[in-house]
Structure 1
Amino acid sequence: MYTSNLNNLILNSDSYKTSHWVQYPSGSEYLSSYIEARKGDYDVMFFGLQAFIKEYLSTPITHQDIDEAEMVIQAHGLTFNRAGWERLVDKHGGYLPLRIEAVPEGSIVPVSNVVCQVINTDPEFYWLPSYIETALLRAIWYPSTVASVSHYCKNIIRKALEKSADNTDSLTFRLHDFGSRGASSQESVALGSLAHLVNFAGTDSMAALIAASRWYQMGQDMPAFSIPAAEHSTMTAWGRDGETAAFANMIEQFGGEGKAFSVVSDSYDLWNAIDNIWGGSLKDDVKNMGGTLVIRPDSGEPTKVVREALERLAVKFGTTINSKGYKVLPDYVRIIQGDGISPQSLTKIINV
């Protein structure tokens, strides 16, 4: 059994790259590796490079790393450039003699454009740019993909607000991130949710808050916000006959001037919840609590459910007409759709 540190940068590559140092022609001095999206459905929003540099390239390679890597790589059936790595430790203190050039993070570029390239600064280490390519690709493409999709969705929402709302001031809070439970690891949560925050200011992924401070020096500034919210377990714990009490408890706990909270309302019957609880027995409490109730449908066909929910709320709470001629619910009640959201469904939901 071979054990090693997952943060050993020498092992952070494709296996086959360990054999490349003897494949380049004699006299090689400099090599450049570059990264681009060859094709895709969206423009590329570049993000994630600084996080990778700080997390992985700011710690020098050590002789212990070399010993561990040699054991693993040779047992794996490959050749190992021990002399090269030892020379790197002796000559550069274990830091990689590389220059990484990239478009500014947050830049938006069309596909088929180079967003980043890496080149060695010491001719002795011509083999190093290609060796680091695997880790660099992985570090950039996941957060860049999330940022790119998020930016695409932001444009959809912006156009909808420009069409139907008095202003676009609320744009950065119109797409909230709940990606923490669906990511492959804590680091994926941190990178992916942080990438979303390039475009928006709402997340329930607390790892992104730590990542912003750790990798992007946000300091004391809070990069994103959230609100108290119910889930089905906190509502169904009251039982079907206690649903009204469960909802009333949410108002008591989280209502107040300038406050907002979200309540999942389809545990038993969404339409009953809207018509007879929120718009019935608790109507005056909702109107007078001083904050904003955000009702969350969580099942059914989103385009149909959102439309009907809005229509039923309009009947119960009334509407005003804004400058664009659209009906608007009172400030104290809103809807959030959290199920069935994708770049493809977003436009359909907004246009119901």
Structure 2
Amino acid sequence: MTNFDNLILDVDSYKASHYLQYPPGAEYVSSYIESRGGAWPETLFFGLQIYLKNVLTKPISRSDIDEAEAVFRLHGEPFNREGWEHILKAHKGFMPVRIQAVREGIVLPTRNALVQIVNTDPEIPWIVSYLETALLRAVWYPTTVATRSLMIKKLISTALEETSDDPAGQLAFKLHDFGARGVSSKESAGIGSVAHLVNFRGTDTISALLTAQRFYDAPMAGLSIPASEHSTMTAWGQDGETSAYANMLRRFGGPGKTFAVVSDSYDVYRAVADIWGGTLKSEVETMGGTLVVRPDSGDPTVVPVNVIEILAEKFGSRINGKGFRVLPDCIRVIQGDGVNERTIAAILANLKAKGFAADNIAFGMGGALLQALDRDTMKFAMKASAIRFNGDGWRDVFKNPATDPGKASKKGRLALLREDSDWRTIREDELHADAENLLEDVFVDGRLMRDQSLDEIRRLSWP
């Protein structure tokens, strides 16, 4: 039976033939990973530690080699049996590579080296590129999600600073992850949601909690609240909508409690005006907790703003110190449909234009947070930048396509510097003795060299 955790098979097919393609005498290859630009001007680096702990700290076995050989032979590719046997015998099955990386949680401009990898055994220079498939995937996906989440955090933070009396106290729960059902796998859900939880504290993705516990020493990385779905509301029938809402109040309301109720099963405006703001108004006001109304259809930039206006008419509002209206503490709104960077910006702008503070709303984001992205969103790439032959010094390796200058790659062994707010990737041989290379050792020959907690990563990403 195929072992889906076989490192040798976690690769693009053509990698199997690359050991035969390097020039004679090649001993060491050095490669790096960077974002070459894309959707945002900076990156929040995150996620490599998951791959290191889950994959590279485990050795390959002879059965892995046997299985991989059988697969590649049938697949039409050559197989480097001798090379893998050497890794098994000389290194006890651990990958003989040195990986350096910037600290997870660091935010830095694109077009800087985030990771650098070199083999430590001159017999197998091909191993660096062989690991590209899995290593690049382990970096680009969580880093892209973390960066998207950070950009939204900055957007919401600005709105709170402009309209709220307590911007810092609310920010952590303003964007909630609804993405578990919208991604391609449970693994993606866990990794992507933990990347989001670097910036926020709200998630409905349970696999994220397990991922954070296992790989980032986080006993409880995120929180959630009781909430309804359409099936639990429509099960009462249209004539029973008020009873369905009353049941939610009875089951989940109370001092200090917060719960959410989807309210658009039939007519969200009627539900808000006549049920929440009419029949059940006094119960909402006296329960001691917070009801979060969730509109879930219609124009996402308009409907939640209209709902907040209706709630203000029914429940009243106060004017805060910055001159914006805030609903009573017993009621808020969450928009979880059609949410992305553009609609969040539009909703916040529309609220501000109507005189409402950002306090009144939170956002739930699903596939747009964890799935609506790819490697090209931030133009991630791993490229060889240096090679050594027969004991000689490093020689530059690079690409510089005449048809696409944006894909030009860096040359030489690399180092990463920060001087005040200026980040620079330079050649390692240009590094002054008193300068600190921020590409730190994280993995050497099967050993994890750095173990960061989620708490540390959060502090680095939002000082």
Q: Do these two structures clear the TM 0.5 threshold for a shared fold by scoring above it?
A: yes
Q: How far apart are the structure 2 equivalents of 1:333 and 1:53? A: 44
TM-score with structure 2 setting the length: 0.74
Q: How far apart are the structure 1 equivalents of 2:339 and 2:109? A: 25
The yes-or-no answer on 1:116 pairing with 2:115 is yes
State, as a whole percentage, how many aligned pairs show the same letter.
56
SS at match of 2:31: strand
Q: Which residue of 1 aligns with 2:447?
A: none
Q: How far apart are the structure 2 equivalents of 1:27 and 1:69? A: 26
Q: Which residue of 1 aligns with 2:274?
A: 276
Q: How far apart are the structure 2 equivalents of 1:139 and 1:268? A: 43
> Which structure has more RCO (C-alpha within 8 Å, separation ≥ 6)?
2
The structure carrying a bigger strand percent of its residues is 2
CA deviation profile, 1:159-186 (whole Å, cap 9, x unmatched): 0000000022110100000110001001
Q: How far apart are the structure 2 equivalents of 1:350 and 1:55? A: 40
The yes-or-no answer on 1:60 pairing with 2:97 is no
Q: 1:16 aligns with which of 3, 14, 17?
A: 14
Letter in 2 for 1:265: S
How far did residue 293 of structure 1 move?
A: 0.2
Q: Which residue of 1 aligns with 2:416?
A: none
Q: Which residue of 2 aligns with 1:297?
A: 295
Kindly report which structure 2 residues correspond to 1:321-332, keeping only aligned pairs within 5 A, or say none: 321-332=319-330
CA deviation profile, 1:217-251 (whole Å, cap 9, x unmatched): 22xx3110000000100000001111111000000
CA deviation profile, 1:131-170 (whole Å, cap 9, x unmatched): 0011101111111111111001000000000000002211
How far did residue 79 of structure 1 move?
A: 1.1
RMSD: 0.9
Whether contact under 8 Å (1:48, 1:140) holds in the other structure is: yes
The yes-or-no answer on 1:51 pairing with 2:75 is no
Whether contact under 8 Å (1:258, 1:291) holds in the other structure is: yes
The yes-or-no answer on 1:226 pairing with 2:229 is no
Q: Which residue of 1 aligns with 2:93?
A: 94
Kindly report which structure 2 residues correspond to 1:327-342, keeping only aligned pairs within 5 A, or say none: 327-342=325-340
Q: How far apart are the structure 2 equivalents of 1:276 and 1:187? A: 43
Q: Which residue of 1 aligns with 2:213?
A: 213
How far did residue 39 of structure 1 move?
A: 2.0
Q: Which residue of 2 aligns with 1:6?
A: 4
Letter in 1 for 2:170: S
Q: How far apart are the structure 1 equivalents of 2:68 and 2:220? A: 40
Kindly report which structure 2 residues correspond to 1:1-352, keeping only aligned pairs within 5 A, or say none: 3-42=1-40, 43-168=42-167, 169-218=169-218, 221-352=219-350
Letter in 2 for 1:204: D
SS at match of 1:30: strand
After TM superposition, the structure 1 stretch with the greater mean CA deviation from structure 2, 275-284 or 32-41, is 32-41
How far did residue 210 of structure 1 move?
A: 0.3
CA deviation profile, 1:72-102 (whole Å, cap 9, x unmatched): 1111111111011001111111000111111
5+ residue gaps, structure 2: 351-463
SS at match of 1:226: coil
Q: How far apart are the structure 1 equivalents of 2:298 and 2:72? A: 52
CA deviation profile, 1:95-142 (whole Å, cap 9, x unmatched): 001111111111112221111111111212211111001110111111
Letter in 2 for 1:89: L
The structure carrying a bigger helix percent of its residues is 1
Whether contact under 8 Å (1:33, 1:133) holds in the other structure is: no
TM-score with structure 1 setting the length: 0.97
How far did residue 264 of structure 1 move?
A: 0.3
Structure 1 runs (4+) deviating above 2 angstroms are none
Q: How far apart are the structure 2 equivalents of 1:52 and 1:173? A: 28
Letter in 1 for 2:81: R
